[in-house]
Amino acid sequence: MDDQPRLMHSHAVVGMAGHPGLPQHMQDGTATDGDGRKQDIGDILQQIMTITDQSLDEAQARKHALNCHRMKPALFNVLCEIKEKTVLSIRGAQEEEPPDAQLMRLDNMLLAEGVSGPEKGGGSAAAAAAAAASGGAGSDNSAEHSDYRAKLTQIRQIYHTELEKYEQACNEFTTHVMNLLREQSRTRPISPKEIERMVGIIHRKFSSIQMQLKQSTCEAVMILRSRFLDARRKRRNFNKQATEILNEYFYSHLSNPYPSEEAKEELAKKCAITVSQVSNWFGNKRIRYKKNIGKFQEEANIYAAKTAVNASHASAHGSQANSPSTPNSAGSSGSFNMSNSGDLFMNVQSFNGDSYQGAQVGANVQSQVDTLRHVISQTGGYSDGLAASQMYSPQAINANGGWQDATTPSSLTSPTEGPGSVHSDTSN
DNA sequence: GATCATGATTTTTC
DNA sequence: GAAAAATCATGATC
């Protein structure tokens, strides 16, 4: 880069004697006064201006003469300085750009996605996070996981290949331009600073290309990610066991099918799904059950019978009664540990501070009552499914078409129930 | 491929 | 903010 000053200096010591076409006072070096120097520069500029009008051979000869002129280095320096002070300085000021926020964002994202970071484990963490976020359960998820990883690796490879290509091209082009400018600096005023600036421009141009590459890569990753994560697109039915667990809970809490957060967490754990999926399931179930009770009657029968069996086991075996997969109305004693499920018998436990077992018995009784109510509805001559279900859970859906408030168990807030009706009150 | 079932999302309501 | 209701999108079955 610092060839130019030395180059110019070497020219300065080269004598100009004997060159044709130059005024005598320039050849013998006698013009040392101010006027003479002005005259010199004027002559040289004149020759430069008219050089294109001359024939090639003549021009070459002139060029050579000028190159060897003792004033040339000084003239070059002056022209370089002028360039520095005018155009380049303005351009330079404009080129001082703040660090690109978008580029930083892209870099961060690529790093986070494991595309631009270290190879080891690249993307697997993101994939794992994506898998966790998708809420999918175990086995079929692993296939998607590996698929995601494979595609991410592919993107990563393409990205690095292209990046390498760009860097190589950038280096080659920079070297080429630098050599060219150095070569040209012999014949026109090009300072090292200007070369440096040119290199900067080239790098910026390649940087913008790289940014486009990064942008495209980010887009590809986002598409891949959205496809992988889009649970709706990749909807999988819950497995049979999970559905059973959820249904058992739903039908055994038909009077108040609103699991507490704790219960949801427990259900989620047991079903290997997320809490939000549990919430979704209950939301869907409630609305669909309410819309078409008759349709769910058979299902209700099955789970009611199951609950009855479990309840009788509970009565027979005391604290061992509640199967983990068959929570009854008193969730507190069941495997779901629903200390605040909103179920009536929860309150019994909390109010009746004397015995845990007592609450359990109450729970079992409640479950049996629910079941009995259902059996009565089935055998009591109700052909209409809706009527039957109303009999099964007369207090479950209120006049407004909704379930009773979760915090106010229906048995305590339904004075309209006839004396003959099966009651879910603790008095039972 | 028509239809139903079902999980997820969005909008509305309270 | 949670639940209800409406809707979407996909899977399963025939």
Could you say which residues 278-307 of protein chain A have a Cβ atom less than 7 A away from any atom in strand B? 280-281, 283-284, 288, 295
Contact between the CB of A401 and strand C at under 7 Å = yes
Contact between the CB of A60 and strand B at under 7 Å = no
Q: Which residue has the tokens 């009611």?
A: A304
Nearest to A4 by CA among A63, A65, A60, A84: A84
Q: Which residue is nearest to nucleotide B6 (CA to C1')?
A: A237
Q: What is the mean pLDDT of chain A?
A: 64
How many angstroms is C1' of C14 away from CA of A81? 87
How many angstroms is C1' of C4 away from CA of A255? 17
Could you say which residues 176-235 of protein chain A have a Cβ atom less than 7 A away from any atom in strand C? 230, 232-235
Nearest to A209 by CA among A96, A112, A103: A103
Asked if A323 and A310 touch (Cβ cutoff 8 Å), the reply is: yes
**DSSP 8-state class, residue A295:** G
Q: Is the pLDDT of residue A50 over 70?
A: yes
Q: In this structure, what is the dihedral angle of CA atoms A334, A340, A344, A347, given to the nearest 10 degrees?
A: 100
Q: Which range, A12-16, A187-191, A230-234, A287-291, has the best average confidence (pLDDT)? A: A287-291
Six token digits for residue A284: 């869907």
Asked if A249 and A323 touch (Cβ cutoff 8 Å), the reply is: no
State the pLDDT at residue A33. Answer: 58
How many angstroms is C1' of B14 away from CA of A405? 13
Nearest to A70 by CA among A49, A43, A52: A43
Identify the burial level of A93 via C-beta atoms within 10 angstroms of its C-beta, where 0-12 means exposed, 13-18 middle and 19 or more buried.
exposed
Residues linked to residue A403 through DSSP beta bridges, in sequence order: A397
Backbone angles phi, psi at A397, to 5 degrees: -115, 125
Asked if A310 and A296 touch (Cβ cutoff 8 Å), the reply is: no
Range in A167-176, A205-214, A248-257, A304-313 with the lowest mean pLDDT: A304-313
Contact between the CB of A400 and strand B at under 7 Å = no
Q: Which residue is nearest to nucleotide C3 (CA to C1')?
A: A283
Asked if A363 and A330 touch (Cβ cutoff 8 Å), the reply is: yes
Nucleotides of B under 7 A from a protein CB: 5-9
State the pLDDT at residue A258. Answer: 93
Confidence of residue A92 (pLDDT cuts 50, 70, 90): low
How many angstroms is C1' of B13 away from CA of A404? 17
pTM (2 decimals)? 0.42
What CA–CA distance (Å, rounded) separates A422 from A146?
55
Backbone angles phi, psi at A403, to 5 degrees: -75, 160
Beta carbons within 10 angstroms of residue A90's beta carbon: 10
> Mind listing the pLDDT tens digit for each residue in A332-352?
333 333 333 333 333 333 333
Average pLDDT on A130-142 reads 45
Nucleotides of C under 7 A from a protein CB: 3-12
User: At residue A29, what is the residue type?
Assistant: G
3-class SS of residue A243: helix
Six token digits for residue A253: 């809490």
How many angstroms is C1' of B4 away from CA of A247? 20
Nearest to A224 by CA among A138, A315, A154: A154
Q: Which range, A2-16, A147-161, A224-238, A377-391, has the best average confidence (pLDDT)? A: A147-161
Q: b vs e for A324-362, b when ≥16 Cβ sit within 10 Å of the residue's Cβ?
A: ebbbbbbbbbbebebebbbbbbbbbbeeeeeeeeebbbb
Contact between the CB of A231 and strand B at under 7 Å = yes
Six token digits for residue A363: 């729970």
What CA–CA distance (Å, rounded) separates A2 from A35?
32
Reduced DSSP (H G I as helix, E B as strand, rest coil) percent helix, strand, coil of chain A, to 5? 70, 0, 30
Q: Is the pLDDT of residue A330 over 50?
A: no
Query: Which is more confident, A100 or A384?
Result: A100
